[in-house]
Structure 1
Amino acid sequence: MKFIVISAVYNMSEHLKENIDVLKAQTYANFEVYFGDDLSTDNSCDVIEQNIQGDDRFRLVRHQQKLYSMGNIAETIKLAQPADDDVIVLIDGDDKLADATALEYLKNTYSNEQCLMTFGSYTVNGKTGSKCSAYPSIVQKLNLFRYAKWRANHLKTFKYSLWKQVNPASLTLTREEVEKTLNFYLYTGRIRAWLECRKIKYEDLVTEDNKYVRRCSDKYITSPLLEMAGERAHYIDKVLYHYLGPQGPHNFGNSSKKWSQRLLRQAISLKPRYKNIAK
């Protein structure tokens, strides 16, 4: 089994070396790492190049246009050209795996559980994340992932064979979908949300080419995968990931960060669900 580690980077120079050091120390060595840099303005690329020198498992991808987190991850996966059975592992550039055995534990999990994806447990500020738990069986059976309490947290991994079935339209929003979300707020009596979200500029929600949403990549990436994997989406209670916590600058242009994120989260619940392909 081969792991393809995708690490999205933007101005993370202070934390990248720790990420790289833990990856280099892994007891399971069949992996490749792709750092996707989203036009960093600090010395992140220099730090990556200095610390991966001489290890051909590591690669730096310098994107030529601003992609934000969602586009950075999706485009870096494309450039990695994984095989169907390869497992994609998402590690934010400023975070890191919990220890040197994390990939080995993942390899054994995929072999023993015959799963299509995993999500699981992490620490933040030295404490286990509060949102680490499995989805109730009723959510899996009735394909209610988009409507249930969010649980698909770090460490997120999935077979590339699953990812390649995600429609690109799932990773962005159209103007019509934004309007549909505004109407949903109005029809359900959420007047404050409707008033605030009406002020948001469409151009502040998506990349310049409209291919990707700017934020909330966790839900836009993982919701389709959970729906397709169903009961073969496996929760791991062992801590495999150290999360630094929310980082980065405001990236919704002149629009409200708070209400832009709320609109994006609501909008994904109104998108069409995927069918379970793992039955």
Structure 2
Amino acid sequence: MTKKISILIANYNNGRYFKQCYDSLLEQSYTNWEAIIVDDCSTDNSVDIIKQLIKGNNRFLLIENTVNKGCGFTKKKCLDYATGEICAFLDPDDALYSSAIEKSMRQYDQSRNIVCTYSKMMLCDENLNPQKVFHQTKQIYNDNLFFNCPIQMAHFFTFKKNIYDRTLGINPNLRTAADQDLYLKILEHGNAKFIKQTLYKYRLHDKGISQNKGKADAKKSFALVIHDTLKRRNIKYINHNKVPDTLVYPEEIFQLLNYQVSILYRLKLKLMVLLKG
């Protein structure tokens, strides 16, 4: 029997984009999936649109927050309802290529020791027309000092539910950077498989939670995620520089990790990945 995957969709005011997300699930070559949708008290017509689309399809479940709680809370709530052995988040304004789930699920049969997978993603315009592949995604070297800063791991990210259940779970107080929080917690329990194919369509538009005017807030949240990760991993010094006990300024964290963008460091990691492979 094939493994079941739970596709998790945290929605807030993305009603006008949701049909393409929905259609991309129906077009999947892999059929043993469920979709858990949690709406975070949207103020547009999201709920009406979603209800109409999923009506009569028992693979979809819609949950509604009674008050707006934010990205972290809503994504964590998605996982509370997931019943699949594997889980993956799909943003309601994005979409999957038709073979995305199949190619991701195949990895768990081929590499039983992995805890998650991720792939390349296509950057698209507001109408979801492909523009260019996000070039920063690559095979990571997973060690205690990997914080995905700069970004190397992104969508399409799938992970084992039983591994997630061993973590503290997504921080419900995060308004952004919930994905980064998830990645780092999952990676503390095993290794990731990079699928060198484009499986995810990422829509660029001015209402995106991590785009344009939201970038400053996203940066603060990312710094908080990394700071929490440092504490969780009991890392008190990086390159002889003390990790602050309390996070005051996001730049304190990014300055600590600035060495990871150097050419020498990146070449070292590339060599480590090759040796490990």
Instruction: Tell me, yes or no, whether TM beats 0.5.
Output: yes
- Name the residue aligned to 1:219: 180
SS of the residue 2:188 aligns to = helix
- Name the residue aligned to 1:75: 77
Residues in 1 aligned to 2:209 and 2:115: alpha-carbon distance in whole angstroms? 34
Q: Does 1:106 align with 2:104?
A: yes
Residues in 2 aligned to 1:70 and 1:215: alpha-carbon distance in whole angstroms? 7
- Which residue identity is paired with 2:110? N
Q: Deviations over 1:34-66 (max 9, x none)?
A: 111011111111111111112100111111121
Q: Does 1:155 align with 2:116?
A: no
Residues in 1 aligned to 2:232 and 2:35: alpha-carbon distance in whole angstroms? 31
Give the unaligned 5+ runs of structure 1.
172-210
Please list every run of at least 4 consecutive aligned residues from structure 1 whose deviation after the TM superposition is greater than 4 angstroms.
Answer: 256-259
Q: Does 1:132 align with 2:137?
A: yes
- Which residue identity is paired with 1:242? K
SS of the residue 1:35 aligns to = strand
Q: Is the 8 A contact 1:228 1:274 kept in 2?
A: no
Q: 1:247 to 1:38 in 2, by over 3 A?
A: farther
Residues in 1 aligned to 2:202 and 2:148: alpha-carbon distance in whole angstroms? 25
Aligned residue runs from structure 1 range 41-56, under 5 A: 41-56=43-58
Aligned-pair distance for 1:77? 1.0
Q: Deviations over 1:82-124 (max 9, x none)?
A: 26xx11111001101012x221111211111222101121101
Residues in 1 aligned to 2:135 and 2:178: alpha-carbon distance in whole angstroms? 20
Relative contact order, higher structure (CA 8 A, sep 6+): 1
- Which residue identity is paired with 1:241? Y
Q: Deviations over 1:152-178 (max 9, x none)?
A: 20001100111112215x61xxxxxxx
- Name the residue aligned to 2:121: 122
Instruction: Provide the TM-score with structure 1 as the length reference.
Output: 0.73
Aligned-pair distance for 1:274? 4.8
Aligned-pair distance for 1:246? 5.6
Q: Is the 8 A contact 1:147 1:269 kept in 2?
A: no
Give the unaligned 5+ runs of structure 2.
125-129, 235-277
